[in-house]
């Protein structure tokens, strides 16, 4: 299918959308008068982090459920559909941090291959890529000792491995604000949500402790609390994320960690996941159900698995995952999958959850994750800019997720449905019909991704944006544009 013809059908992206709540156990598809109707609801579990519910939350939940029931009626009357679960042919995938039930779409042969660009971390394409072992050795390190490795002869037990690696594990509590549409009174209301996941200490620089986790564990956070092995908690900051591969790096200022805690924690070792074989024994450690770190064990069930996850903002396609039957439960997201030496070979991320499905958890292999983690760790640390310096671009966009990409051949990213005249976007050469795939070298898949990034960029800064568009032959052309950000307050005054 030619790219130009696909864009002619782009109204489908706008008019027929799947609505999902970030913290909802129940997924609903609502189409009403061709307008996007957002529906949110809070459940006991987030998608892989565990949602922490207070008494106020439970009262709020009753109100939300009533709103959901009203939405079901509206959707049915208006010709829409309300879907509560995957079909019998599909399994449900629950991201292992506890936030919300997810739908798993079976492996597809027609997925867009984006792994190559993610693994390209050497800079110029002409440079020879580092091996996974070299990348692991090159991660920032400092005075904190590394975890002790198990005996190569296999005399150490799982208990020994757990004891060695536990000091490198942390619990991450994400405090965010959720917005829910009120179908009875109109408008929307907000409430505070807390969810818990896991992280692995994998690096240290001169001023920061660097912790690896999943993007969905830290997504939308107003505040992050990192809890170490001795139950001491400090505030963490998102240093960088890769939404496409569900990876994140959280930093903690070393000055905020007391001496006793610094003496107890360790940095985890990493190994090349390409060297593992199906059938090898593995150990999973994570903050299961938010109760604290727990240990499970199993084997490598399969390698190179592909799953598609329907989450808050669309459908994401995750490739080359390790499948294991080691129990991975809500709260385990961002935790470590270890070989029998106690080395990290994967970052636990998702699990299949459906009737008749048991023992199907998935981890992001280090062969894929470590180059991305290295890039995130070395990224410049940014602070949120003031309201006075807040920036804007001047675009209206629609999210192109994996399902739309496969159906219409569009690249995953943000479809530019409108570019304002005399805006920073138009000045940079952006036009309607383009798809933005990266901002300042960081992949963006949704308008939410872009809005989150813009909080850290001030008006007047110049960044590079990556866009794709159709050429005259119906093919796809990728280009990089230089974009100077405008001042949002000036835009508001003019409009």
Q: Is 113 a catalytic residue?
A: no
Q: Is 85 a catalytic residue?
A: no
- Please list, in sequence order, all residues whose beta carbon lies within 8 angstroms of the beta carbon of residue 462, skipping any fewer than 6 positions away: 482, 483, 484, 485
The span from the CA of 84 to the CA of 218, in Å, is: 26
Cβ–Cβ under 8 Å, residues 384 and 481: no
DSSP letter at 385 equals P
Residue with tokens 């640390």: 381
Of 21, 193, 213, 333, the active-site residue reads 333
Q: Is 14 a catalytic residue?
A: no
CA 163-167-170 angle, 5° bins: 125
- Please list, in sequence order, all residues whose beta carbon lies within 8 angstroms of the beta carbon of residue 224, skipping any fewer than 6 positions away: 172, 173, 174, 175, 218, 235, 236, 237, 238, 250
**294: burial class by Cβ within 10 Å (0-12, 13-18, 19+)?**
middle
The span from the CA of 363 to the CA of 365, in Å, is: 6
**351: burial class by Cβ within 10 Å (0-12, 13-18, 19+)?**
buried
- Please list, in sequence order, all residues whose beta carbon lies within 8 angstroms of the beta carbon of residue 460, skipping any fewer than 6 positions away: 391, 484, 485, 487
The span from the CA of 135 to the CA of 156, in Å, is: 27
Of 118, 246, 272, 311, the active-site residue reads 246
CA 230-234-240 angle, 5° bins: 120
Q: Which of 46, 112, 452, 150 is nearest to 315 (CA)?
A: 112
Q: Which of 249, 315, 273 is nearest to 103 (CA)?
A: 315
Of 213, 216, 273, 448, the active-site residue reads 216
**Backbone torsions φ then ψ of 70, nearest 5 degrees:** -65, -40
Q: How far is CA 184 from the centre of its chain?
A: 32
Residues serving a catalytic function are 216, 246, 333
């Amino acid at each position: 299918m030619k790219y130009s013809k696909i864009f002619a059908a782009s109204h489908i992206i706008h008019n027929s959308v799947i609505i999902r709540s970030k913290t909802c156990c129940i997924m609903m598809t609502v189409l009403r008068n061709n307008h996007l109707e957002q529906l949110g609801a809070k459940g006991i579990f987030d998608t892989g982090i565990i949602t922490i519910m207070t008494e106020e939350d439970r009262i709020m939940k009753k109100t939300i459920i009533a709103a959901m029931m009203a939405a079901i009626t509206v959707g049915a009357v208006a010709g829409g559909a309300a879907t509560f679960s995957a079909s019998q042919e599909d399994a449900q995938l629950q991201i292992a941090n506890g936030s919300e039930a997810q739908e798993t779409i079976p492996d597809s042969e027609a997925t867009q291959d984006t792994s190559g660009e993610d693994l390209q971390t050497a800079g110029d394409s002409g440079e020879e890529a580092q091996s996974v072992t070299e990348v692991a050795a090159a991660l920032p390190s400092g005075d904190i000792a590394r975890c002790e490795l198990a005996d190569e002869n296999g005399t150490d037990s799982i208990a020994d491995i757990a004891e060695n690696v536990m000091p490198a594990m942390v619990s991450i509590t994400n405090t965010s604000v959720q917005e829910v549409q009120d179908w009875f009174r109109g408008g929307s209301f907000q409430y505070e949500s807390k969810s818990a996941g896991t992280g692995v200490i994998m690096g240290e620089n001169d001023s920061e402790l660097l912790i690896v986790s999943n993007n969905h564990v830290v997504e939308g956070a107003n505040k992050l609390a990192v809890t170490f092995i001795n139950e001491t908690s400090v505030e963490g900051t998102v240093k960088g994320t890769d939404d496409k591969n569900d990876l994140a790096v959280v930093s903690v200022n070393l000055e905020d960690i007391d001496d006793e805690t610094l003496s107890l924690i360790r940095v985890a070792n990493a190994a090349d996941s390409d060297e593992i074989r199906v059938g090898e024994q593995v150990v999973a450690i994570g903050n299961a159900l938010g109760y604290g770190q727990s240990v499970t064990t199993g084997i490598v069930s399969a390698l190179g698995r592909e799953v598609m996850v329907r989450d808050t903002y669309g459908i994401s396609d995750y490739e080359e995952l390790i499948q294991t039957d080691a129990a991975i439960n809500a709260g385990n997201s961002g935790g470590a999958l270890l070989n029998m030496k106690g080395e990290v070979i994967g970052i636990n991320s998702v699990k299949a959850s459906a009737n008749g499905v048991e023992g199907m958890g998935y981890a992001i292999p280090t062969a894929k994750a470590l180059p991305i983690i290295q890039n995130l760790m070395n990224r410049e640390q940014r602070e949120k800019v003031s309201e006075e310096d807040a920036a804007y671009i001047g675009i209206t966009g629609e999210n192109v997720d994996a399902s739309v990409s496969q159906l219409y051949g569009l690249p995953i990213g943000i479809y530019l449905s409108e570019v304002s005249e005399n805006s920073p976007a138009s000045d940079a050469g952006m036009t309607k019909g383009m798809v933005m795939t990266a901002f300042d070298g960081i992949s963006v898949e949704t308008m939410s991704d872009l809005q989150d990034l813009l909080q850290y960029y001030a008006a007047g800064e110049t960044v590079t944006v990556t866009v794709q568009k159709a050429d005259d032959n119906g093919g796809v052309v990728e280009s990089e544009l230089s974009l100077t950000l405008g001042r949002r307050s000036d835009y508001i005054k003019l409009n």
